[in-house]
Structure 1
Amino acid sequence: MTTRTQLVLVPGFWLGGWAWDDVVPALRAAGVEPHPVTLPGLDPDDRGTDPAAVTRADHVRAVTDVVDALDGDVVLVGHSGGGAVVGEAVDRRPDRVRRAVYVDSGPLEDGAVLALDLPADAPGIPLPSWEELAAAGSSLDGIDADGLARFRARAVPHPGGVARGAVHVSDPRRFDVPVTAVCTSLPSEVLRTMVDGGPPLHTELGRYDVTYVDLPTGHWPMFSRPGDLAAVLVDAARA
């Protein structure tokens, strides 16, 4: 019996596991087992969770709980803000994760904060306008009108405690877990010049064994190029 590689899919800000819906069928067809994760406070159908009470530790625990429940090889995939959560999960389970894949994102250094200026009393960050996202560098290239409408309809304000909570990583064994960096809105030749940490990005990417893959599109390839993203993830899972 062949054990399938387990691919844990962690979306970025405002998104639940539904964001991977167009990617999942191709992953299954290729023989890997996808596990899309909806992090606490980000389920559009959940009325029982208070987003203001959700912390970074809750998000990291949600991912490690999935890892702990799986058998065989585990590959973690983090998109955008989900990449920082994946980096922390790798730190907690370096002996269980065979590879980490960062989609237009990367692992952050200890103490890094994603939304440093978010007021302490802000319960969450609503999805900005498309114009505001574009101005902030989050490209929407490749997403059609139907995709944008679905994105807007299902997006949930990102929990404030997660956005302003500090990243905590400390186990040096995390650097033994190889990485695939999927470069979508930023080409790999540019990303390679930005991987040495410190402000403003606070990334640890330069300390890992990294395979760079270019997939030119916007910041949300699961919406703009889902089939191509699935192929990249399958290759990473088999690396």
Structure 2
Amino acid sequence: MENTSPSATTAAVHVVLVPGFWLGAWAWDDVLPHLRERGLDAVALTLPGLEADHADRGSVTLEDHVRAIEEAIAAAPEGVRVVLVAHSGAAIPATVALDRHVDAVDHVVWVDTAPVVDGFAMNVDVEGDEYPLSAQWDEELEGGSMVGLSEEQLATFQERAVPQPTGSMRDAAHLTDERRLDAPMTLVATAFPSTEYRSGAEHGVPFLAGLKEFRNLTMVDLPTGHWPMWSEPERLAGLIASAGTPETADGGRPAAVGEDS
């Protein structure tokens, strides 16, 4: 885990930023300054096996990722609001961490992803110990998920991405505390509008099944690609900050893009 929070101040809100597949804490570098400008403390995680020099990705499990998130939640100062932010495939360990620590998490922000249901696994058929970005790069480009990224950002992504440990993809989420279903949440829909998220859930898309279970979830559209931490870092930070306010955490609507946040 890489802690990138400022050490000199204690903010009223502690944000835990969890990147998706292939990414480390560096993925949030453009978002962190905007969070700090809004008075929020933050920690960006590099999940186990996503270190550039990790020697044995085959030994990394979903449980390892969950524990890293649990540790970051537990590290928040007493009395400080905790906002858990998960991007893409990090939704799986983040949902498990929420399930185990419902009382400790005040709000969850899903960045172009969604909370999962009990028993969900990302890809039970993936082979080998590692799943490299190259295995999906062309599909991501053709599918439009890279919208809004400059050539420099694309090059940095390819250069810094590391293979995803396949244990984190094969292992299933085990959820036991139904109180998670009432946890305040915001889903920031970027590569697809929120209406398509709802439609996908209604049509049985497994990754979106949680949208039919969770009862305190607000959707906000931020039209861009799948990587808004690079294409729209300031707006994404504003939505995260809005989700961290007591009014929002109690069920209010986050400020939409373009509104003051």
Distance 2:212 2:228 in 1: 23
**Alpha-carbon offset, residue 199 of structure 1:** 4.5
Residue in 2 aligned with 1:175? 181
Residue in 2 aligned with 1:30? 38
Distance 1:50 1:74 in 2: 32
Structure 1 portions without partners, runs of 5+: none
Amino acid at match of 1:9: L
Residue in 1 aligned with 2:129? 123
Q: Aligned runs of 1:96-115 on 2, under 5 Å? A: 96-115=104-123
Structure 1 residues 197 and 61: alpha-carbon distance in aligned structure 2, compared to 1, 3 A threshold: farther
Distance 1:201 1:184 in 2: 16
Residue in 1 aligned with 2:195? 189
Structure 1 residues 224 and 217: alpha-carbon distance in aligned structure 2, compared to 1, 3 A threshold: same
Structure 1 residues 197 and 95: alpha-carbon distance in aligned structure 2, compared to 1, 3 A threshold: farther
Residue in 1 aligned with 2:240? 233
Partner-residue secondary structure (3-state), 1:212: strand
Check the 8 A contact 1:112/1:202 in 2, yes or no. Answer: no
Q: Aligned runs of 1:30-179 on 2, under 5 Å? A: 30-44=38-52, 46-47=53-54, 49-71=55-77, 72-119=80-127, 122-128=128-134, 130-135=137-142, 137=143, 139-179=145-185
Check the 8 A contact 1:197/1:204 in 2, yes or no. Answer: no
Structure 1 stretch 221-230 or stretch 51-60: which is displaced more? 221-230
Amino acid at match of 1:171: D
Check the 8 A contact 2:114/2:207 in 1, yes or no. Answer: no
Residue in 1 aligned with 2:13? 5
Check the 8 A contact 1:197/1:206 in 2, yes or no. Answer: no
**Alpha-carbon offset, residue 4 of structure 1:** 1.8
Partner-residue secondary structure (3-state), 2:242: helix
Kindly provide the CA deviation profile for residues 41-81 of structure 1, in whole angstroms up to 9, marking residues without a partner as x.
1012x34x411100000000000011111121111000000
**Alpha-carbon offset, residue 181 of structure 1:** 0.3
**Alpha-carbon offset, residue 196 of structure 1:** 5.2
Distance 1:185 1:94 in 2: 28
What stretches of structure 1 move > 3 A for 4+ residues in a row? 195-200
Residue in 2 aligned with 1:224? 231
Check the 8 A contact 1:109/1:204 in 2, yes or no. Answer: yes
**Alpha-carbon offset, residue 132 of structure 1:** 2.2
Q: TM-score, normalised by structure 1?
A: 0.92
Amino acid at match of 1:203: A
**Alpha-carbon offset, residue 173 of structure 1:** 1.2
Q: What is the root-mean-square deviation in Å for CA atoms of aligned residues?
A: 1.8
Partner-residue secondary structure (3-state), 1:97: coil
**Alpha-carbon offset, residue 203 of structure 1:** 2.7
Residue in 1 aligned with 2:23? 15
